[in-house]
């Protein structure tokens, strides 16, 4: 190699005939709507980081899941607030649902979509994947095979944030 390639003051690398700029010299330009979303998610992450990395990640994950479901709804029913006579589906509010996260069921509000001119409810694939209990069963079986008593299963779960844990905790009929 020549001294030119070894020189630390050389700001970029030469590749063939062109010169690559170092990353720190490249302008970071995000589309305005994406930049706003990144700022919002970063702020949400910062709000929850005091509860731990897992809690902050769960908060962001639930936000992203909500956005994914809204994107799927918009794909079926079109943009919110716009009338379209040819649409095949219509929005129908939200309802309580749950997703499997960190070895537990976490309650969420899920959007509902119905077929236009019909009372049948459309299935949101995003929700179906997140709601699948296979992951929960797999996590529980692994913990039990590792020697965890089912009675102590909840205590062994990683913390997912006070707000999520408060929503996920309920009182069963047997404990009343």
Q: In this structure, what are the phi and psi dihedrals at residue 89, rounded to the nearest 5 degrees?
A: -135, 155
| Residue 14, strand partner residues | 19
- For the chain, report the end-to-end CA distance as a whole number of angstroms: 77
DSSP state of 120: P
pLDDT at 153: 64
Residues of the chain with pLDDT under 50: 2-13, 15, 23, 171-176
Please enumerate in sequence order all residues whose Cβ is within 8 A of that of 156, keeping only pairs 6 or more positions apart, or say none.
143, 148
pLDDT at 56: 82
- Stated pTM of the model: 0.62
Q: In this structure, what are the phi and psi dihedrals at residue 94, rounded to the nearest 5 degrees?
A: -135, 165
Residue carrying the six token digits 């997912």: 160
pLDDT at 170: 52
Give dist(CA 21, CA 14) in Å, integer.
9
> How many CB atoms sit inside 10 A of residue 115's CB?
15
Which of 175, 76, 54, 59 lies closest to 125 in space, CA to CA? 76
pLDDT at 156: 63
CA dihedral (155, 156, 162, 164) in degrees, to 10, reads -110
| Residue 13, strand partner residues | 20
Which of 107, 98, 99, 96 lies closest to 164 in space, CA to CA? 107
Q: Helix crossing, 53-77 with 32-48: angle to 10°?
A: 140
């Amino acid at each position: 190699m020549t001294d030119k390639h070894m020189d630390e003051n050389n700001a970029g690398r030469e590749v063939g005939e062109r010169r690559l700029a170092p990353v720190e010299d490249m302008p970071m330009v995000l589309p305005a709507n994406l930049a706003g979303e990144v700022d919002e998610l970063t702020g949400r992450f910062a709000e929850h980081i005091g509860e731990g990395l897992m809690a902050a990640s769960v908060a962001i994950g639930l936000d992203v899941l909500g956005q994914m479901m809204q994107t799927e709804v918009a794909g079926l029913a079109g943009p919110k607030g716009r009338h379209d006579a040819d649409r095949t589906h219509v929005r129908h509010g939200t309802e309580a649902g749950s997703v499997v996260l960190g070895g537990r069921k976490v309650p969420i509000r899920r959007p509902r979509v119905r077929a236009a001119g019909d009372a049948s409810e459309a299935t949101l694939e995003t929700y179906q994947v997140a709601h699948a209990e296979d992951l929960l069963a797999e996590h529980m079986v692994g913990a039990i095979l590792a020697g965890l008593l089912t009675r102590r299963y909840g205590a062994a779960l990683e913390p997912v944030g006070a707000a999520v844990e408060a929503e996920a905790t309920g009182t069963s009929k047997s404990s009343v």
